[in-house]
Structure 1
Amino acid sequence: MGKVRVDVLFGGRDNCHVESILFEVVDMESPYHTLLGRPALAKFMASTHTAYLKMKIPAPNGPITVVGNYKVSLETASAGSNFAESLVIAEEKRRIQTVVTLAQSSQLNLAAMSRPIGGTTFNPSKETKDIVLDPAHPERTVHIGVGLSEA
């Protein structure tokens, strides 16, 4: 939809770090309010540790530690996963409906659907020979063209 520049602040009155971040605004549902990408984290010189859900940011009076909530993180990840899955299912339903509509409008029969439209069926060359793959198992063979060598 567009972009907006917002001053983002971490910390409190006695120790804070402020940076102006350019956000892209999108029109979609999401469990997140904002996402800070690598450029924003680099601007803050943030050090992240995803396993501990912690982020440290340098500030004038010492580092600022931002601590995440494991329970909220799992809920948000689950909501995001469910949202992504619903988008995939919606797209698959749309594609199926397109195929059904095409089949109904063209009144295709099963014989026509057995090969690509306008395509030809594969016909192997009549000039082939059988090569035994393993002498211990002579029934295991492969068909190759007569013009090809065994090596």
Structure 2
Amino acid sequence: MDGGSDLNIMYAKTLEKMGVDQTKLCPIRAPFHGVMPGRQAVPLGQIDLPITFGDQSNYKTKTLTFDVVGFPKTFHAILECPCYTKFMAIPNYTYLKLKMPSPHGVITVGTSFRHAYECAVECCGHATVVIAFEELTTLREEVIEEALDTKRSSGSFESVEGSKEVFVDPSSSEGKKVHIRTALSSK
């Protein structure tokens, strides 16, 4: 449960486990932000699904539109403002409860603090892996660009601009030297 967005999100794996074929998705190309820190997401498509809260004696069913995403899941779905509006539900983040009116009284949906904590830890783990992967990809691209520098011939060991000679072992009489760069990036 999250109240900061205008999207209901469902993960492709959840849809697969429900037995819903991805060919039923309506195409959509509008990206959104906020699910993975610093990263935009393009949904695989949208789908309308009937959602029911409550039990056999007291329930409420409405059809919700979900943006389906294909990245690793921590949750089954993320319910946002459109869900709360349709069900006239009120989330209470302090007590991890969602309450809504129904024909036979109030429906209350909740979870434990332990389960919420475990989901949050798993979500942070996924986000960390994604961000680390993107940083590694960027670093590899920079290294490849430097390696393909056309100013130097292949197999050349000439010193480059911004380098200096350093003795491998200053106390040795052999005088072996190496060239190191003086302008390396912080990465």
Higher relative contact order (CA 8 A, sep 6+): 2
- 2:52 maps to which of 5, 9, 27: 9
Amino acid of the structure 2 residue aligned with 1:78: V
Aligned partner of 2:32 in structure 1 is none
Q: Distance in 1 between matches of 2:126 and 2:141?
A: 23
2:132 corresponds to: 89
For 2:114, the equivalent position in structure 1 comes to: 71
| TM-score, normalization by structure 1 | 0.70
State the partner residue of 1:39. Answer: 82
Measured in 1, the distance between the counterparts of 2:71 and 2:124 equals 14
Measured after TM superposition, the shift of residue 110 of structure 1 is 4.8
- Alpha-carbon distance in structure 2 between the residues aligned to 1:99 and 1:13: 59
Runs of at least 4 residues off by over 3 Å: 107-110
**Which of 42, 57, 69 is matched with 1:26 structurally?**
69
Bigger-Rg structure (1/2):
1
* Letter of the 2:143 counterpart: V
How many pairs does the alignment contain?
A: 114
Structure 1 unaligned residues grouped into runs of 5+:
115-151
Q: 1:101 & 1:24 partners in 2: Cα distance?
A: 36
Identity %: 26
Query: Structure 2 vs 1, CA of residues 110 and 68 (structure 1 numbering), >3 Å: closer, same or farther?
Result: farther
Give the TM-score, by structure 2 length.
0.57
Amino acid at match of 1:102: E
User: Aligned to 1:63, what secondary structure does the other structure show?
Assistant: strand
Q: Residues of 2 paired with 1:67 and 1:99: CA distance?
A: 48
DSSP 3-state at the match of 2:78: coil
Correspondent of 1:62 among 81, 98, 105: 105
Q: Provide the C-alpha distance between the structure 1 equivalents of 2:84 and 2:100, rounded to a whole number of angstroms.
A: 9
Letter in 2 for 1:18: T
* Structure 2: gaps spanning 5 or more residues: 1-43, 153-159, 164-181
Deviation, 1:111, is 2.6
